[in-house]
Structure 1
Amino acid sequence: MAPAEDDISIEEKRVYAGSAGRTDAYVATGTGVVRVAISGDKVGGFELAARDPARDVAVLARTDDPDRLAVATDDDLLVAPIDADRDGVDGSAFSPVGIGPTVAVGVHDGEFLAADGAGEVHRIRVGGDGDVDAEDAEGDGSPSEPTRIGSVDDPRAVDGPLVAAADGVHRVMGGGAAGGAPTLEPVGLDDARDVAGAGVPLAATPAGLYWLGNGWMSANEGDATAVAADGDGHALAAVDDELLVRDVTDVTDAAAGIGWDADAWRVAPLPVDERPVALGYGPGLSVVVTDAGTLCVNAGDGWRHQAIGVRGVAGVALAVVEGTGG
């Protein structure tokens, strides 16, 4: 494994980040969670941030408190603060939430949403300096007691308010800023493998890629296995082992009458002949991790890649470490 980014001097880190800022990608794998430093399209050092085999990973961004990393493992959902001074996560800082074996985790309305192995979906709030009065959250920054909001059949993925499961796509309704107790409601499809809940809802199924308009509409036929979106009209999808990209914005869409059907997507060849399995977005960049453990980054000028030496890739989440300079 390459030398850890933590071994680079502070001055070198500043030069490395430059005006592009820096984003860390946390990759869930069968070995653990690997943290990879990214600046623009440059891939820096990487290290093992958590040693438990991971089924999924999510980052909860905070304003007045450290961001949180959640890792879905076969034992429990583990949550730890992301230490900006340390440029990563202290492995001893993980706290088990208490929901048991966890298969998927995401973020919605400032909380973690996690699905356990029995299909129960829970919300987990995180307290801290910026949220000391939050209901059910501890003022010391610890995760709250989980609150069950519903159940699904064989959950696979969580993103925003959406849950992908064998019995279709489900959406969290109410709770959070909307007030009241949240509920989990089915919204259609069958055998959903992945979902994207930012902006226009998207779902990946063995029958194809779908977007939610007046009901679920076909975006692309084929065997869809993964999908991600940034909420501004950009999206990535893995269909028939190829990477599809939708890279027009909502403003452009409105002016040109472009929707989310097959014409809005194009095949984007990766720089390696490997299958895309985990997709994500950060500020000004898109990230794809392949089944062979190669991380690919596109910051607008084509794909760059770096092998990170892991297998069993199950998910990726991104955390902003340094914003872009002026």
Structure 2
Amino acid sequence: MDSIEEKRVYGDREGALEAYVASALGVVRVRVAGDTVGEFDLCARCTTRDLAATTDGVVVATDEDVIILEREADTDHTTTETGFGPAVAVGVAGDTLLAAAPDGTVAHRPAVGGDWAPLADQSIATVRAIDGELIGTDSGVYRVHDGGLDHVGLTDVQDVSAAGVPLAATDDGLFKLGNGWMDCVEAPMAVVGADPATESGTLTRAHAVTADGRLLALGTDDKWGEMISPADGPVVALEYGETVYAVTEQGTFCVLAVDDDPNGDRPDQNGLEWRSRSLGVPDVTGFAVVPFSSATDE
């Protein structure tokens, strides 16, 4: 690690970010600067199903409750129970938290304070993913609208991405929402993600993982192509910042080398390199990134 990157990860962390990884052992915080993976620690011990970034930390779905982890100091977190009960998925849409129970009940509450309120009179289906206002289930994609849930199509959805242009990874393929759902890849899919900084109506950086573990990237020609994958197993989640970040089910945190491909959008395998570090935690289900400054600003 060179001195500049070392300072960003271990000293003055301006420009660095923190990633929170969901695992069967608990929530692991990882500090990252550029394409350098720095120190990491277990900041909450629980069986974690899912998590999502807030302005001050993360909201976490566990097998007992939805909890909120907020940064208080350089190493400390405040853990707040919300009273939701066991959850399988969580998300953040603006200043609203979303959570789904194992029976398909979906509820919302303000990000700061307030009580949970259901979004539908009945449970909808098996919820597999929440991103922004999109909810992916075995019966299709739902959108949060006017305090309720609207079914917007598809079936057997494994993952959703709301940034830029809505994307859905399904058993039938990868779809994007335009004039209806349009197919992008004809193969069973498991994971999809897009850069949240993308302007509405466009896609710049976007990636997906097939059911058999192949990693795909959206190219500048608006076509999806296979790119090199991390070595130790299928990617279960993708996030974006200065570069592209990924985590595998086996607990390896991966960063696409900035010097190789700062946009992370080339579908070819020439010259790409994932830099990785094992976190030593099992059964990883996802992660979220938070800029370090937002986690520490008063």
Query: TM-score band (shorter)?
Result: 0.7 to 0.9
CA distance in 2, matches of 1:299, 1:200: 26
Q: Which residue identity is paired with 2:28?
A: V
- Structure having the higher helix fraction is 1
Contact 1:195 1:228 in 2 (8 A): yes
CA distance in 2, matches of 1:105, 1:292: 22
CA distance in 1, matches of 2:194, 2:43: 25
Q: TM-score, normalised by structure 2?
A: 0.84
- Cα deviation per residue 1:40-86 (whole Å; 9 max; x = unaligned)? 0000011101100100011111xxxxx03211011110112123x32
Contact 1:17 1:322 in 2 (8 A): no
Q: How far off is 1:16 after superposition?
A: 4.6
Q: Which residue identity is paired with 2:124?
A: V
Which range is displaced more, 298-307 or 15-24? Answer: 15-24
What is the alpha-carbon root mean square deviation over aligned residues? 2.1
Contact 2:250 2:282 in 1 (8 A): yes
Return closer, same or farther for 1:49/1:15 CA change in 2, 3 Å cut-off. Answer: closer
Contact 2:236 2:284 in 1 (8 A): yes
CA distance in 2, matches of 1:21, 1:195: 28
CA distance in 2, matches of 1:219, 1:244: 11
Runs (5+) with no aligned partner, structure 1: 1-11, 62-66, 128-142, 175-181, 249-257
Q: Which residue identity is paired with 1:86?
A: D
Q: How far off is 1:106 after superposition?
A: 1.0
Q: What SS does the corresponding residue of 2:292 show, helix, strand or coil?
A: strand
- Cα deviation per residue 1:87-144 (whole Å; 9 max; x = unaligned)? 4x52xx32221121100011102221111122111112133xxxxxxxxxxxxxxx32
Contact 1:72 1:104 in 2 (8 A): yes
Return closer, same or farther for 1:269/1:79 CA change in 2, 3 Å cut-off. Answer: same
CA distance in 1, matches of 2:156, 2:97: 23
Which range is displaced more, 264-273 or 191-200? Answer: 264-273
Aligned length: 268
Q: Structure 1 residue 162 and structure 2 residue 134: aligned? A: yes
State the partner residue of 2:119: 149
Contact 1:228 1:236 in 2 (8 A): yes
Aligned residues with identical type, % of pairs: 41
Q: Structure 1 residue 79 and structure 2 residue 68: aligned? A: yes
Q: Structure 1 residue 266 and structure 2 residue 225: aligned? A: yes
Q: 279, 286, 295: which is aligned to 2:253?
A: 295
Q: How far off is 1:309 after superposition?
A: 1.1
State the partner residue of 1:135: none
Runs (5+) with no aligned partner, structure 2: 1-5, 261-272
